[in-house]
Amino acid sequence: MRDLYLVDGYNVIFWVPDVFGRDDLESSRKKLIDLLQDYGAHNNIEMIVVFDGMGTSTKVKKEVLSDSFAIVFTPSRMTADSYIEKESYIRRNEYRSIYVVTSDGPEQRQVLGNGSYRVAVDDLMWSLKHDKKDQHTFIKKNNQTNRRSEIGHSLPPSVQEKLDKLRGKK
């Protein structure tokens, strides 16, 4: 059984303006989604990112990107907060733990009553940053022991010179 993260997307974007620009919300949403997909995949976490609805839609728009990642746009008269509160209550028995990512005080108190855990946006950003560092360390360590074998390094110098002439290097 794995954990579920319910993320209030715009709350994260607007809480960290130095990471997510406010001028282009589409780019900010994409950047947040990319970061969360990466983090969720490396930590075996199911993620649902919820954005407040826009326009006149009367239905929830859910885009499933994988079996462990979904994006939700709420209907025009429903906030992301209310969708997250409802989902955290409905799904409380399906997961080991449910974490709600928001820095909205009233929403944090509501989901605590549902048995979910709250994660402040700053804590999520810290986790994302350290997960990236761990990935880079892992890759660097494994690339040292698993170096690429390039054919050019094993060619005799006379052949290398001829190839360089053909490429116009000499």
Tokens of 32: 């947040």
Question: What is the tens place of the pLDDT at every residue in 17-62?
Answer: 889 888 888 999 999 999 999 999 989 999 999 998 776 678 888 9
Highest mean pLDDT among 63-67, 87-91, 105-109, 166-170: 63-67
pLDDT value of position 109: 60
Domain boundaries, the chain: 3-134
- Over residues 8-14, the mean pLDDT reads 93
Question: What is the tens place of the pLDDT at every residue in 84-99?
Answer: 988 988 888 888 899 9
Spatial separation of the C-alpha atoms in residues 114 and 141, rounded to whole Å: 42
The CATH class for the domain spanning 3-134 reads alpha beta
DSSP SS3 for 118? strand
pLDDT value of position 104: 65
Q: Three-state SS string across 88-99, please? A: HHHCCCCCCCEE
